[in-house]
């Protein structure tokens, strides 16, 4: 019975994750499909890039809320144990990356991962904030900051005795996922062609 419940949680979480914020909010605000411009994905960063600050902020909130709802609400709804929260979070992220409702072309997943962390592992947000900020102000690369902050969370969870196996596996899996979805950013950073956010740097590049 428990296995069936976990499967139900995963399927429902995937469907929640498939509700792409940019592709739902965009038409309401009169914005074009962000997948047609910028980095050609449906994430919050590209929504900001192609449609402005309000659009980007609303998409960020929407996509983050998907992770929160999946982790908190679904295990309660299906009445299954705590590991289901991490399963739901991972499934929601997969839904965000490959949304069944939008041709399996979604975003890069970071906002939904953050929502899952807020709901299930809130202490890790300190690690995200510290690593992300430190990387951004020293390098100016948002993609690099995103990837390193996730690996920081993984290391923190792996070392922390108060986190169980489900949390450790979730953060490891999400670190790998975020690295994969940002592989283009990493490659461009290595080649020196990645866009640098100079205004966020402690000492702007010249």
Residue 82, pLDDT > 80, answer no
Residue 9 is predicted with a pLDDT of 94
Q: Give the tokens for residue 30.
A: 């009169």
pLDDT in tens, 11-21: 999 999 999 99
Q: Environment class of residue 170 by beta-carbon count within 10 Å: exposed (0-12), middle (13-18) or buried (19+)? A: buried
b vs e for 19-38, b when ≥16 Cβ sit within 10 Å of the residue's Cβ? Answer: bbbbbebbeeeebebbbeee
pLDDT value of residue 98 = 97
Rounded (10°) angle between helices 110-120 and 83-97: 170
Token pair in block for residue 27: 């038409």
Q: What is the pLDDT of residues 96-155, one digit of tens each?
A: 999 999 999 999 999 999 999 999 999 999 999 999 999 999 998 999 999 999 999 999
Number of DSSP helices (H) and strands (E) in the chain, helices first: 10, 0
Q: Distance between CA 37 and CA 30 in Å, rounded?
A: 15
Rounded to a whole number of angstroms, the distance between the first and last alpha carbons of the chain is: 61
Whether 119 and 48 have beta carbons less than 8 Å apart is answered as no
Determine the Cα–Cα distance for residues 107 and 43; give it in Å rounded to an integer. 4
């Amino acid at each position: 019975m428990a296995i069936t419940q976990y499967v139900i949680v995963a399927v429902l979480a995937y469907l929640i994750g498939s509700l792409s914020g940019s592709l739902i909010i965009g038409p309401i605000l009169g914005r074009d499909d962000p997948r047609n411009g910028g980095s050609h994905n449906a994430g919050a960063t590209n929504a900001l890039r192609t449609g402005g600050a309000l659009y980007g902020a609303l998409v960020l909130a929407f996509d983050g809320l998907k992770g929160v709802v999946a982790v908190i609400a679904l295990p309660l709804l299906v009445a299954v144990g705590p590991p289901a929260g991490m399963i739901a979070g991972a499934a929601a992220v997969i839904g965000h990356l490959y949304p069944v409702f939008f041709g399996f072309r979604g975003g890069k997943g970071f906002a939904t991962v953050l929502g899952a962390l807020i709901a299930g592992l809130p202490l890790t947000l300190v690690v995200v904030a510290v690593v992300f900020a430190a990387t951004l102000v020293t390098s100016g690369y948002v993609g690099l900051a995103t990837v390193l902050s996730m690996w920081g969370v993984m290391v923190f969870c792996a070392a922390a005795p108060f986190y169980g196996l489900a949390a450790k596996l979730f953060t490891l899996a999400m670190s790998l996922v975020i690295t994969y979805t940002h592989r283009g950013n990493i490659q461009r950073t290595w080649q020196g062609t990645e866009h640098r956010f100079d205004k966020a740097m402690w000492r702007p590049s010249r």
